[in-house]
Structure 1
Amino acid sequence: MGTRIGYAAGAFDLFHVGHLNLLRHAKQHCDVLIAGVVSDEMLRQVKGIEAVIPTAERAEIVRHISFVDDVYVETAPAKMDAWRDVHFTHFFKGDDWRGTEKGQRLEREFADVGVEVVYFPYTAHTSSTALRRALDALTAGSAPTMATAL
């Protein structure tokens, strides 16, 4: 059996325990774990959102997590592009993708090149979307700005 190279991709913006859980579980299932950090440009293009933390800083944060062996910054929307550059053998994703059209398409594409897709439990009680909503609510309300706080 060869080296199991794992790949776990995400924005990793507003880093939270769900991100940590994905990376921790992924490392338990491979010899080398590469974390794919989706670039600011790809977040805009694919999800229509602005990152709170810039790409380089997110990559630096993720690079220093003990489970992560290397970081790859994704600059193209297709995960097959990442595979061509990284040549991972296992792709890790939250189980919120299991059974979805996107998840099934990913499974088919990766099966063609021998990559196994492994799903882990999605951390439902926290997400970047929920954190983003909470920040938006705070900034829309009467939360002080830096100028008024000084």
Structure 2
Amino acid sequence: MKTVITFGTFDVFHVGHVNLLQRAATYGDRLIVGVSTDELNFSKKGRNPVYNQDDRMKIINGLRYVNLCFEEYSLEKKREYIEYYGADILVMGDDWKGKFDYLSDICEVVYLERTPSVSTTEIIEVITSR
């Protein structure tokens, strides 16, 4: 049985998120998703997510192709998370291309093309400009 793992904030959930998670699920038998905590998101982006981590976790856990999701507390712990969950494949969006190649000693690393013209940041900017 192959286990796939991926990570993200998944704020203002949109079709790009769905596409990434559906495609990630096709790489194995089980999909595990690390959802960035509110604190981690603030440290990465300098702003709090629109939806709090409990709501974002509920959304991800509610998807039929996600077997398990957990709170990601640190970007530096990817190796620990992969080993803990026994992941065979790490799948990330291609905006991270090359950044996780160092993990190829413990799992296969796959970067998937992002859905064109869709991003949480752009959606938030459109909403706040109205």
TM-score, normalised to structure 2, is 0.92
Query: Out of 42, 54, 57, which is 1:56 matched to?
Result: 54
Percentage of matched positions with identical amino acids: 31
Q: Secondary structure at the match of 1:67?
A: coil
Q: What aligned pairs does 1:38-77 form with structure 2 within 5 A after superposition?
A: 38-77=36-75
Q: Amino acid of the residue matched to residue 96 of structure 1?
A: D
- Unaligned ranges ≥5, structure 2: none
Listed one character per residue, the Cα deviations across residues 32-76 of structure 1 (whole Å, up to 9, x for unaligned) are 001111110000112212110000110011101111011011011
Q: Residue 91 of structure 2 aligns with which residue?
A: 92
| 1:85–1:48 CA distance, 2 compared to 1 (3 A) | farther
CA distance in 1, matches of 2:84, 2:26: 23
CA distance in 1, matches of 2:95, 2:9: 16
Larger Rg: 1
CA distance in 1, matches of 2:84, 2:57: 17
| Residue 10 of structure 1, CA deviation | 0.7
Structure with more relative contact order (C-alpha pairs < 8 Å, separation 6 or more)? 2
Listed one character per residue, the Cα deviations across residues 101-136 of structure 1 (whole Å, up to 9, x for unaligned) are xx2xx111x1222x1111111112111010111122
Q: Residue 135 of structure 1 aligns with which residue?
A: 127
CA distance in 2, matches of 1:53, 1:34: 20
CA distance in 1, matches of 2:81, 2:129: 35
Are 2:117 and 1:125 aligned?
Answer: yes
TM-score, normalised to structure 1, is 0.80
CA distance in 2, matches of 1:86, 1:44: 25
- Unaligned ranges ≥5, structure 1: 139-150
Work out the number of aligned pairs and report it: 129
Q: CA RMSD in A?
A: 1.3
CA distance in 1, matches of 2:15, 2:38: 21
Are 2:11 and 1:13 aligned?
Answer: yes
* 4+ long deviations beyond 4 Å: none
